[in-house]
Structure 1
C-alpha cells in the first residue's frame, strides 16, 4: 500500500471518529440550549397574552376613572344632568371610547344606568351588563376605600369574558361625597387578541383546563395561567400552545453541521493528497504565510517568484497580477469616491443657493418695476403745471393737494423699498453664510450648536412669504432649542418650505396653506427631541413616489428638476443626529414633512 494511501486512510479514520464525537458533543451541548430557548419562547408567548389582557384592563380602567371623576357624571347621579345619557352614553360615543358597557350604580347598590352595545357589521345591538337592577351591598363594586382608587377586573357574561374598570363617582376636583360607582366594560375578543399577540391560545373553565391540557408532547409546549373574577375567585384559564419548532431546527442544524464537516473533510483529504503528490508542502506553507500576513496587515503585496515554472508558479504569478489590479482598482475607487463626494457637495450647494436666490430675484424685479410707477410720472406733470404763472387758483389748489398726496405715497413707497432692500440684504447675507459654511465644512468638522427653532423658521419664511398663493401659519415654535449646525439646518428648512410652496402652486389653487408646528418628544432612555411638522395642502405625493422620495435624482416635480433637495436634506439631518420623515395620504391630499433634532438641555425661556 502506498504511503499516500495510508495517510489518506488514516485521515479518513480521524475524520470518521471526529464526526461521531462532534455529533455526540452537539447533541449533549447544543440541544439543551435549543430546548431552553423553546421553553423561553413558550413563556414569552404566555406573557404576551397576559400582558395584552392587562393592557385592556388598564385602558378600560383609565376610561372609567376619567368618566367617574367628572362633574357631569356627578351631576347625573344627583339627577342634575338630564341630557347626560344622550351626550355620553350613545352607541357612537361608547364605540369611540372603546367599550361595550356603561353602568352607573349608586351607593345603595341600585343600578341607575346599565347601557351597552355590541358592534357588528350592521346596527349596534343593545346589551346589559347585569341581569337585575340591584347589586348586593357586599359586591366589590360598592367597596369603599380611603383613597380614590380606579380598579379593573374580569367578569363572565352571556357575551363572554368582559374586562371592566370601575371607580367611585366624584367631582372633577375629587371633592364631595361619593355618589356611587361608574363601571365601564369591554368584551374581550379572543380572536383579536390572537391576531394582536400572534399566539395560539384559548380560554377554558378552570375545572376543565387540567382535563383537556394533558402534558407537553413532541409537537407543542403548553402554558396555563388562572384569571380571577372581581371577587378574587378563579374565573377562567388562559392556555397557550407553542410549537416545538426550535428543537426541530436544532436537529436539522446538527445534521447540516455534520454534513458540512464531512464535506469539508473530504475536500481536505483531496487537497492534501494532491499537495503530497506534487511534494508542494513547503511552497504551500510559504503561500499560506504570505496570505496570513496580508490578512493581518491589510497590505496586498506581491509574492516573490520561485522560478520553478510549474502550475504553482503560475498561480503565484496570477496572484501577483491580481494584487496589482486590485491596487489600481483601489486607487481608482478612491479617486471616484472623492469626485462623487465633491460633485454631491457642489450640487447641494448650488441647489441651496438657487433656492436662496429665487426671492432675491423677485425683490429685484419688483424694485425695478417700482422705478417706473405712474405716481412719479403724474407728480412730475403736476409740478410742471404749477410752474405756469397763469394757472387758475382752484386748479393750483387741486394740483397742490395732488402733490401732497403723491409725496405721501412716494414716502410710503420709499419705506417699502427700504424694507425690501433690507430683506434683500438679509437674503444675500444668508447666501454668503451658505458659501462660508460650505468653505468651513470642507476644512473643519462642524461644531454642534444650540439653534433657536423659531428664529430659524422665521428666517426661512422669507423665501416664500411673497408668493401670492401661499398662506403661512406658525405656532408652538417659540422657546424650543435644538442641537445641530445652524446654517445647514436653515437650508433644510428653506428647502422644505420652497418645496411646500411649489406643491401648492402646482396644485392650481389660488390660495394654499402651509402650517408649521412643533412638539417635544421623548426617545429611548429618556432623551428628548424636538419635532417640527411642516404641512401643506398642495399636490401631495402618491404612495409609489413616497418610497423613493429621498433617493438621489428622484423628483416628483416636472420642468427638469434634478431631485437633489430632499436627498441632501436627509444626508444633512443624519449628519446632525436628526432625521427627516415625509408623509402624504396620496396625490391631491397635501404632504407633511417632519424634521427632528435632539433638544437642547435648556429651553429658550430658561436661557
Structure 2
C-alpha cells in the first residue's frame, strides 16, 4: 500500500477512535448526570406522596381529637344513646368528615358503636372483619394510659390498608377520667389511591408488606430494604422510572410498599443530547480528517518522497561497497541530511558492534566454560565431600589420640632418652606431629568450605518453603552446630530470643544455613576474643515481620564494599580463603523466602546483619 494512502488511513482511523472515545465519554457523563437528576426527582416524588399521606393522617387525627373531647361523646360511650347515633353517626357525617370507619369502645373494652361507610353505595356497613382483631382487650389501638396519648398511622387488615387515628374519650375540657376510645379510619383502597394520585398528579401504588402476590419489582425492592436501603430507584424498559420505599404502621412495623412511577423525561432528553453531540463530532472529524490529509500530502508526503529517493540511492552505494565503513553521501535537502547522518551513525555503530560482538563471543565461550565448571562441581561435590569428611573425622581422632599418647611418650623420652618411631626420631616428631595434624584439619576444612560454597552456588532447586518454621529453633540449632567455632572466636556470645515469636513459612534447613553463614561471618570479623557476637530474634505485629539480627564488634566493612557483599565471588577475605559465595547464597535463600537481608556497618566498630521474614499468614505488602 502506498505511503500516502497509509497515512490517510491512519489519520482517519485515529480520528474515528477519537470520535468514538468522545461519544462514549459524553454518553457516560450525560447519562450519569441524568441518572443522578432522575434519582433526585423520583426521591422528591416519593417524599411528596409520603407527605400527602402524612397530611391525611394528621387531618384524620385532628378530626378524631375533636370528636374524642366532646361531652356528648363522653356521655354516649358511658351510656349508649340511640338518639346520639341518629343525630351524629349517620351517612352525612361520614361523608362530611371524609372518613370510612368510626368505632366507639368503652373503658371496659366493649364496642359501643362500629360502622363503616361505603362511598359507592352511600350507606353504612358493618366494620370490616379484619379490623376486629385490633379491638381486643389490651390491644394498643384501644389502650390509652394518659389523657394526652394518641395513636395514628397506617394499619393493614386483610381487606385493605387503612389510615387510622385513635384517641381517648374525654370531656370537652379535655379532662378525665378516660371513658373509652374513639377510632376513625379512612380506607386506602385502589379508588382512594387513584383519587390521591390524580390530586397530586403522581402515579403511585400501595401494596401490603406481606402480600402473597406482590409484583417481582416490589419483591426485589423489599429484599434491598431488608438489607438496609431506604429508597430503591429502578428504571424500567417501558420508558418509566420507579421509586420504591416502605411505610411503617402505627406499631412501627413495616406495613406497606410505596411505589411511585413517572416518565423518564430526563433520560430521553439526555439521549437526544448525546445524538446531537455525536452528530456534530462526526461532522467535525470528517472535516478535520480531510483537512489533515490535504496538509500531509502537500507539506509532508511530497518532501518525504524526494528524500526517500535520495536515501535509496545512498543505501545502494553502501550495499555495493559491502562494508559498514562506507558512508551515505549528504545532499542539500535538510530532511535527507538528517536521515543520512542517522544512517552514517548507524553504520559507525554497526562497525563498532561487529568488533564488540567478536569480543562478546569470546566472553560467551568463557562463560560456557564456567557453566560447565559449575555443572562439574555440582556432580563431583558429593564424591569430594565424603572422603574429605572422613579426613576431618580422622584428623580430629588423631589429634585426640596424640594428646592422650603424648604424656606416655614424654615419660619414656625422659627416662630412656630419644627413641625411634618408625624411621624417625621422637625428638623430631614431638613438635612436627601436632603441626601436621593441625595442617590436615585446616586443609580439610578449607576443602569442605569451598565445596559447600560451590555446591550452594550451583544448586538450582529452591527446596520446599511451605512448612511453619520457629525462628528461635533455627537460631538455637545453628548455634549448636557452631558452638566449637564460636567458643574459639569469642568469649562474649550473647543470645536474646523473643518470647513466642510467630512462625515463618519456609524451609528450616535453608534458614539454618543463613544463620550459620551470618554467625560465621561475624566470628571471622573478630580480631580478639573479648569482642562480642550478639544474636537476637524479634517480631513486629504491626508489619507482620519476624527478625533475626546478628551483630558483631569486629573490624566492620568499608562503605564502598557494603553494596557489593552479596554479589557472587565478591569477598574481602580472599587472602584468608574466602570464596565470595556465602552471602550470595544466603541472599538467594532469603529472597526465596520472601524476605530481605539488611546490612549496617561502621568501620572499626562492627557490622549488623538483619534478616527480615514475613510471618506465616502475613501478606508480602507487610514487608514494605
Q: Same fold (TM over 0.5)?
A: no
So what's the TM-score if we normalise by structure 1? 0.38
Quick check: which has more Rg, 1 or 2?
Answer: 2
Q: TM-score, normalised by structure 2?
A: 0.37
